[in-house]
């Protein structure tokens, strides 16, 4: 299957969220909260706080998603730009096609082009992200966060 990766347009947020509901049914946004979720995401995109990345097939149907959150972090007394990566997922029929890997590479290049050289995420599968160059941190002894510099 051929696919391409690009930023999600505001009018495509509905399908982006629906894909998230299929990929993460436990965290699905309820129908009564759907419009509010689109409003919040649109506002965050317009304020440049988040970037929604999607993988699309030849028919422009979204098959994968990644959410990038931009924020500042205090790193050893210096404030640095940080990129948080979340909501990584691929629709079930499109698994095992390396779409997640390609979306993450695209996201990291996007962060580097905006002078953000550090990113963190809360991994679903740490072994997958370790192959991408992330390292494990466990500061709270509760859950793993992984970081790439």
3-state secondary structure of 46: helix
Range of the domain at 29: 3-148
Domain with residue 79: its CATH number is: 3.40.630.30
Interval 14-34: pLDDT, tens: 999 999 999 988 888 988 898
Number of folded domains that form the chain: 1
For 31-45, the pLDDT digits (tens) are 889 899 999 999 999
As a whole-number percent, the residues of the chain with pLDDT over 70 amount to 90
Which of 37-41, 71-75, 119-123 shows the lowest per-residue confidence on average (mean pLDDT)? Answer: 119-123
């Amino acid at each position: 299957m051929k696919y391409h990766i690009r930023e999600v347009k505001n009018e495509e947020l509905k399908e982006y969220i629906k894909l998230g509901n299929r990929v993460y049914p436990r965290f699905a946004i309820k129908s009564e909260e759907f419009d509010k979720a689109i409003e919040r995401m649109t506002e965050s995109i317009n304020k440049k706080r988040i970037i929604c990345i999607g993988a699309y097939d030849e028919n422009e149907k979204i098959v994968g998603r990644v959410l990038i959150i931009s924020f500042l972090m205090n790193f050893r007394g210096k404030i640095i730009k940080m990129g948080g990566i979340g909501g990584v997922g691929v629709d079930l029929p499109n698994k095992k096609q390396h779409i997640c890997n390609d979306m993450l590479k695209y996201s990291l290049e996007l962060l580097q082009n905006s002078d953000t050289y550090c990113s963190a995420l809360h991994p679903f599968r740490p072994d997958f992200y370790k192959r991408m160059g992330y390292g494990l941190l466990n500061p709270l002894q509760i859950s793993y966060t992984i970081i790439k510099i």
